[in-house]
Structure 1
Amino acid sequence: MTAKKPNLRQAQKQLTLTLICQAAREMIYSQPYDSITMEQIASAAGVSRATVYLHFANKNELLLKILSENMEEQMELYVELAEIESPNLDSIRAWLQRYRELMDKHHSVRHLFSILFMQLPDRKDFVSNHRERVIEILGERFPGFSLKGLKGKSRERKRIKCYLMLFELEHAVINFSIVPGMPDIDIALDLLAEELLQLYQGDN
C-alpha cells in the first residue's frame, strides 16, 4: 500500500499559523494589549498583514485563540489529575505544584479575559464550557465532583460546590503566588491537597 504523501500546503499553513500565534503571544505577554496592532504582529511573525487576516478577523480573535490554548494546557493538567492511579496527599500535592507553575506561567494575561468578553460577548461561554468539562472529567474519578444520578436542586448544589472548588484552586494559586502580603502559597497547596483528597474519597 502506497504511503500517503504529506500535504505540504497544509503543513505550510499550519507553520504560518504557529508563527503568528507565537509572535502574538510574545507581544501580548510583554506589552499593553491596546498598544498592539495586527501590523506589528505580522511583522514579528515575518508574514504580511493580509496573511494574518486570512487566519484571524481581528486582534480579539487572535487573543481568543491564545487564551483558548492556555485553557487547553490547563485541561491537560486536569486530565492528568484524573488519571493518577491511586491519589494520595503526596501525588495530589505534586500535581498542585505543576498546576501552580502553569498558572504562574500565564498569570500576566489573566486580566485579558474581561477585555475579551467585552469585545466578543458571544464567546463568554467558552470559560464556563471549560469548567463544565473539567467537572465531567474529574467526576469520573473523584466522587466529590460527580454529578451522576443527581437532579434538580440537589444537582445544582453539587455543581456549585464543584465550581467553588475550581474557583478556590484558581484564585488561591494565582493570588497567593504573586500578590504581596497574601498567605503562604505552600501551606495553601497543602490544604488544597487535603480538600482534593477528600473529594476523591467522596466526602462533600
Structure 2
Amino acid sequence: MPSLRDEQKRLTRARIIDAARQLFAAQGYSGVRVDDIAAAVGCSRATFYLHFTGKTEVLRAIAEQSTLPSVMRFYDDLDRVLDNGSRAEFAAWMTRAIGWFFEHKELLPAWDEATAVEPEFRAAARAGISALSDRMTSYLSRWPADRRDEARLRIELLVAQLERFFTRWAMQGTIDVSAERAAEVLTDIWFPALRAP
C-alpha cells in the first residue's frame, strides 16, 4: 500500500499534468512557462521540478496518458479494417478518425508547436508515428519483406495527411468541406493507397 507521501506525490503530479493540459490548450506550447504551470497548481517551481524536467516532459506525459493509448487503438482498428478489405468499413474508420481529431482538437496546436521547436519532443513524435505502423502487424505481413518500408511509409503519410487536413480544416478554417464529404474523399485517396500488393 502506498504511503501518504507517495499518494501526495502522485496527486501533485496529476494536478501538474491537468493544469498543464488546460494551459497548453488555451495558450499553446510557447505561451506557457513552467512558472505558469506551477502557479496554476499552487506549487513552487522546485515542486514542479521534483516531478518534471520541464514543460516538454509534461506535454509528453499528457500524450502518453491520454492521447497515445487512444491513437494506438485507432491503428489497431485500422489493421483489422484493412484485413477485411471492406471499403465501407474503411470509410467508417475514416469518419471515426476525424471524430478522434475533434476529441483531441484543443491540444493539437501545442503538439505541433512543441514538435517544431523542441528536438526532444520531435524525437518522441517520430517514435510515436513509427509505433503506429509497427502495431499494424497484419497489414505489414501482407507486404513482401523488401517492401515493408514502403508499407510503413504509406501509414506514416496517412497519419501526416490526416493531421494536416484536420489542422487546416477544423482549426484554421482554410478548407471548406463537411466532415462527411472529407471522409468520402479521404477514403477515395487512402483505401486504394493502403492496399497491399
TM-score after normalising by structure 1:
0.73
Distance 1:171 1:20, change over 3 A: same
Q: 2:168 aligns with which of 172, 175, 182?
A: 175
Query: Percent identity between the aligned chains?
Result: 22
Query: 1:88, 1:197 within 8 Å by CA — same for their partners in 2?
Result: no
Distance 1:166 1:35, change over 3 A: closer
Name 2:122's counterpart in structure 1.
124
Deviation at 1:167, TM superposition (A): 2.0
Secondary structure at the counterpart of residue 136 of structure 2: helix
Matched, 1:187 2:181: yes
Question: Which residues of structure 1 form unaligned runs of 5+?
Answer: 1-5
Name 1:160's counterpart in structure 2.
153
Name the aligned partner's letter for residue 110 of structure 1.
L
Q: Which moved more, 1:49-58 or 1:178-187?
A: 178-187
Name the aligned partner's letter for residue 150 of structure 1.
A
Query: 2:143, 2:196 within 8 Å by CA — same for their partners in 1?
Result: no
Question: Which residues of structure 2 form unaligned runs of 5+?
Answer: none
Higher helix share: 2
Who wins on radius of gyration, i.e. which is larger? Answer: 1
Name 2:24's counterpart in structure 1.
28
Q: What is the number of residues matched between the two proteins?
A: 193
Name the aligned partner's letter for residue 123 of structure 2.
D
For CA contacts below 8 A with separation 6 or more, give which structure has more relative contact order.
2
Q: Which moved more, 1:100-109 or 1:129-138?
A: 100-109
Name 2:33's counterpart in structure 1.
37
Alpha-carbon distance between aligned partners in 2 of 1:95 and 1:194, rounded to the nearest angstrom: 13
RMSD: 3.2
Distance 1:95 1:8, change over 3 A: farther
